Amino acid sequence: MGPLKKPPPVRRIVVDEEPTIVEPPKRNGTTEAAKSGASGLLSAPRKREGKRGKVRERMRTDALGVAYAGKPAVKAVSLTVNQGEVLGLIGPSGCGKTTLLRSLNRLVDQTPTASRSGSILIDDQDVDLLDVTELRRQVGMVFQQPNPFPMSVFDNVAYGIRERGSRRPSRAALRPAVEEALDRAGLLEEVKDNLSHPALRLSGGQQQRLCIARSLAVNPEVLLLDEPCSALDPRSTSLIEELIMSLRSEIAIVIVTHNLQQAYRVADRVAFMYLGDLVEYGDADQVFGAPKAKRTREYVSGGFG
Amino acid sequence: MSTHATGGGRAAALRRRLQPPRLPRPRLPRRDRGVLKKEEIVPWSLGDKIGLAAAWFCGLLLCAIAGAIVIYMLVRGLQYLSVQALFQHPVILSTTQSTGTAGGYLDPIEGTLILTALGTLIALPIGVGTAVWLSEYGRPAWLARAVESGVEIVAGTPTIVLAIFGLLVFTQGAFGFLSFTAEGGAVFGRSFFIAGIMMSLIAIPLIVGATREALQSIPAHVREASYALGKDKISTIRRVLLPASRKGIATGTTLGMGRIAGDTAIVVLLLGATPIEPQGDIPVLRVLQGTGSTLTSYVYNNSPAGEGNAPQKAYAAAFVLLILVIVMNFVVDLVSRRRSDPWAR
């Protein structure tokens, strides 16, 4: 053949076309069918081996709805966030995962056009009745982009602890708390000799772990992770996943991810969001292995999204 | 080896079909070769060549002009500059003196430094505050638009207009404490204070612009990260946003300082363009309440256009002014030196 081949045929993309999924062969009931549907996932190594430990409810949303300028982004979502478990929020882009996450610490309040219905409870208390500062100290958040503040490593972690006002704790008084937070985030070994270096000189993965340490420093009950690994390399991703595993017994963790494999690796419980609806919510094994809803089955088998 | 004759007749036929014969260029490199041979590089069109040449020319021309200014002022300045003149007070000119040699320019140097510092000190908090309000609050929207227009109008006002306006305002009785009041109750309206206040109006728009740009370049998620730690807006601004926009603030300040040091109109109208003549008896205030001059007014007065007509001194003073501004820019740059954009990826 010569160097020039005939170009491949143009494949038209039809917007709003129903995803076509090859129906898995039904031989031995649903589990078998689901297994072949998500076989790639189920053969992936899991990090959450074995015991789940004691599970305790920390947060609950009840018919939570969020709308931006009247346009609903999250519709009547009811779910629980448990300590001892990792809750994975999966679903295509723009389907309300991040909005749901941001409403848990009332960060959606920052958006002027956002409105919220339904209720969110933390330890059986309505978050609207709590002082927003208090709520956000109990519900930490880590963002997609590593975003340490332009100050030293130490000051980044101490930032959350330092109270506003006249009585500012000294550096020495803060040191144990800062080191503990860095240790929990698995960063202490790497930075203990240069705590006063600018945080922005750390690598991306270290910066993200610093952001986690920053959130852990205020001892939150719930930690929200908004695609924490999407800007990181595989090794840093792996480190952060290990970290999530080690933290889940003490803290309730909610992680938004576009990466189904990641959700499968780390999540104990999975909520699948589609166009603002909570389509499926259940045990990770069940959602990935034997999804009830057709949409979920299509999504976890890679049919769309 | 010919660049065309591989692949056999079928491929060549296909290529002819895929490539419209009327457009022989750009002749793309073939996949299997990877490296462009010299004759395969498509030459630039004439328009692009002219554009490139023009860009080069303009850049080099500006460099040459800047170099010419510095070198010319260096030669003329050093020619007439004497070290002792830097530390001598100027002599009030009179027709009987040989003006070319008498007196130094200590007062104008001091005046420039005092006025620049004063103007910057006034402009910095106002400018940064305005920028923070515009960028972080900015509600109601109509007020923000009004503030923006106000800043733009101040930025666009010629300094001579600012000066005459300042004279109008500060000769009012209520502002007597800023300059000095003559025996009849008339307020003189010329002092370092008054000149500094009006000078700050030159610097404020520059500081507002640069600070605002720096604040707006900070990603929203950085603010949210601070809120997510339970911090309110004020602490976020103070502890995160302002430190992050330090570089922008410094840039605006440098620009403002350069403009203040370089302005003549306000000095002539509102500072008196005299040697430093303190008023009253309170140690530091008496200087600020009194009149003085800067290097710009000194250059003007001694230039052939001014009353002094001592161009040698004008050259030397202009050279000192140039050096002073360059040093000031350098110092501010040094103070604010950080990695240019912490969030650049």
Q: What is the pLDDT of residues B206-227, one digit of tens each?
A: 999 999 999 999 999 999 999 9
- Alpha-helical runs (H) found in B81-105: 83-86
Residue B273 vs residues A125, A285, B92, B143, B198: alpha-carbon distances, Å: 71, 84, 11, 39, 15
Return the structure tokens found at B284. 């530091």
Between B7, B11, B240, which is nearest A149 by CB?
B240
pLDDT at B197 over 70: yes
Q: Is A73 helix (H, G, I), strand (E, B) or coil?
A: strand
Domain boundaries defined on chain A: 32-149+203-300
List chain B residues with CB under 8 Å of A2.
Answer: 6-8, 10-12, 14
pLDDT at A93 over 50: yes
CB atoms A105 and B228 under 8 Å: yes
CB atoms A2 and B235 under 8 Å: no
pLDDT digits (tens, 9 = 90+) for A222-254: 999 999 999 888 888 999 999 999 898 889 999
Which residue type, as a one-letter code, is found at position A199?
A: A
Tell me if chain A has a CB within 8 Å of the CB of B245.
Answer: no
Most confident of A246-250, B194-198, B294-298: B194-198
List chain B residues with CB under 8 Å of A215.
Answer: 228-229
Give percent above pLDDT 90 in chain B.
36
CA angle B128, B133, B134 (to 5 degrees): 100
Span of A187-201, B18-32, B168-182 with lowest mean pLDDT: B18-32
The pLDDT of residue B2: 44
What's the gap in Å between the CA of B7 and the closest CA on chain A? 4
Tell me if chain A has a CB within 8 Å of the CB of B17.
Answer: no
The pLDDT of residue B97: 44
pLDDT mean over A94-99: 91
Distance (Å, whole) CA B18 – CA B152: 56
Let me know if domain B81-335 sits in CATH 1.10.3720.10. yes
The pLDDT of residue B94: 43
What's the gap in Å between the CA of B296 and the closest CA on chain A? 40
pLDDT mean over B282-307: 82
pLDDT at B1 over 60: no
Helix (H) or strand (E) holding A63: strand A56-68
Report the residue of A1, A4, A227 to disrupt the B interface, i.e. the one with the largest count of B CBs within 10 Å. A4
pLDDT at B7 over 50: no
CB atoms B225 and A3 under 8 Å: no
What's the gap in Å between the CA of B222 and the closest CA on chain A? 6
Span of A234-238, B55-59, B106-110 with lowest mean pLDDT: B106-110
List chain B residues with CB under 8 Å of A143.
Answer: 221, 224-225
pLDDT mean over B134-148: 93
Confidence of residue B28 (pLDDT cuts 50, 70, 90): low
The answer to whether the beta carbons of residues A140 and A225 sit under 8 Å apart is no
Give percent above pLDDT 70 in chain A.
81
Between B14, B227, B231, which is nearest A4 by CB?
B14
The pLDDT of residue B101: 46
The answer to whether the beta carbons of residues A25 and A279 sit under 8 Å apart is no
- Which residues are CB-neighbours of A295 under 8 A, at least 6 positions away? A272, A274, A279, A280
CATH T-level topology, domain A32-149+203-300: Rossmann fold (3.40.50)
Q: Is A191 left (phi over 0), alpha (psi -120 to 50) or beta?
A: alpha
pLDDT at B333 over 90: no
Tell me if chain A has a CB within 8 Å of the CB of B341.
Answer: no
Give percent above pLDDT 70 in chain B.
79
Chain A: residue nearest B228 by CA? A136
The per-residue pLDDT of chain A, averaged, comes to: 84
CA B21, B22, B27, B31 dihedral sign is negative
Tell me if chain A has a CB within 8 Å of the CB of B10.
Answer: yes
| Half-sphere exposure (Cβ direction) of B129: Cα atoms closer than 13 Å | 6
- Which residues are CB-neighbours of A153 under 8 A, at least 6 positions away? A182, A191, A194, A195, A196, A197, A198, A199, A202, A210
Sheet holding A56-68, edge to edge: A125-126, A114-122, A56-68, A71-83, A277-283, A269-274, A86-90, A252-256, A222-226, A139-142
pLDDT at B163 over 60: yes
Confidence of residue B79 (pLDDT cuts 50, 70, 90): confident
pLDDT at B77 over 90: no
CB atoms A218 and B228 under 8 Å: no
The answer to whether the beta carbons of residues A295 and A35 sit under 8 Å apart is no
pLDDT at B14 over 90: no
The pLDDT of residue B162: 93
The pLDDT of residue B285: 79
Beta bridge partners of A222: A139, A252
pLDDT digits (tens, 9 = 90+) for B247-279: 889 889 988 998 999 899 999 888 887 777 787
pLDDT digits (tens, 9 = 90+) for A126-181: 999 999 988 999 999 999 999 999 889 999 999 988 865 546 678 888 899 899 99
Of B245, B294, B244, the closest CA to residue B272 belongs to: B294
pLDDT mean over B132-142: 93
Which residue type, as a one-letter code, is found at position B322?
A: L
pLDDT digits (tens, 9 = 90+) for A39-91: 456 656 666 655 566 788 899 999 999 999 989 999 999 999 999 889 999 99
**Polymer length of chain A:** 305
What's the gap in Å between the CA of A266 and the closest CA on chain B? 23
CB atoms B31 and A3 under 8 Å: yes
The answer to whether the beta carbons of residues A236 and A204 sit under 8 Å apart is yes
What's the gap in Å between the CA of A27 and the closest CA on chain B? 49
The pLDDT of residue B343: 47
The structure tokens 């081949």 sit at A5
Beta bridge partners of A71: A68
